[in-house]
Amino acid sequence: MPGDRSRGGGRRVRRRGYRHAVLTDARERPLVYADTVSITPSHPGGSVGLAGAAFAPGVLEELSRGLPTVCVHSGYRLRLILRGVRLSFHAGEQRQPEGGWHVQAAVGTYRNLDVP
């Protein structure tokens, strides 16, 4: 994926996108299943966007307060580790009959990005 020029300094910003992703906590317990995950680095930290996301029961409150570590898995591989993730929910929140929630869109921020 081609990167975009960031403001000031001309440093390359490399956006990352994943389909059919699973976001887990540090113990690899599933938190979110998302159709699409978009990561945009910036200094410091960056932004994260989710589309078509299903959240495990009790996770919405944790993610809105912030989680220390969130791992992004796609294609059965660990792709990224995000630290200091906070999300807010903007569209289509629906409670699932089996527990948990489904949202059409969620956006947030993270403090640090690690690539394993």
Tokens of 113: 């990005």
Q: What's residue 17's pLDDT? A: 96
Percent of the chain past pLDDT 90, that is, above it, reads: 49
Domain count, the chain: 1
19, part of any domain: yes
* Non-local CB neighbours of 21 within 8 Å, separated by 6+ positions: 33, 34, 36, 37, 72, 73, 74, 79
Is the CB of residue 68 less than 8 Å from the CB of residue 81?
A: no
Q: What's residue 22's pLDDT? A: 97
2, part of any domain: no
Write out the H or E segment, with its range, that includes residue 36.
strand 30-41
Q: What's residue 1's pLDDT? A: 38
Q: What's residue 51's pLDDT? A: 93
4, part of any domain: no
1, part of any domain: no
Q: What's residue 49's pLDDT? A: 94
Q: What's residue 104's pLDDT? A: 85
Tokens of 68: 């220390």
Full residue range of the structural domain in which residue 60 is found: 13-114
7, part of any domain: no
42, part of any domain: yes
5, part of any domain: no
Report the predicted TM-score, pTM, of the whole model to 2 decimal places. 0.80
94, part of any domain: yes
Which residue positions in the chain have pLDDT lower than 70? 1-13, 90-92
Q: What's residue 101's pLDDT? A: 83
Q: What's residue 44's pLDDT? A: 82
Q: What's residue 59's pLDDT? A: 84
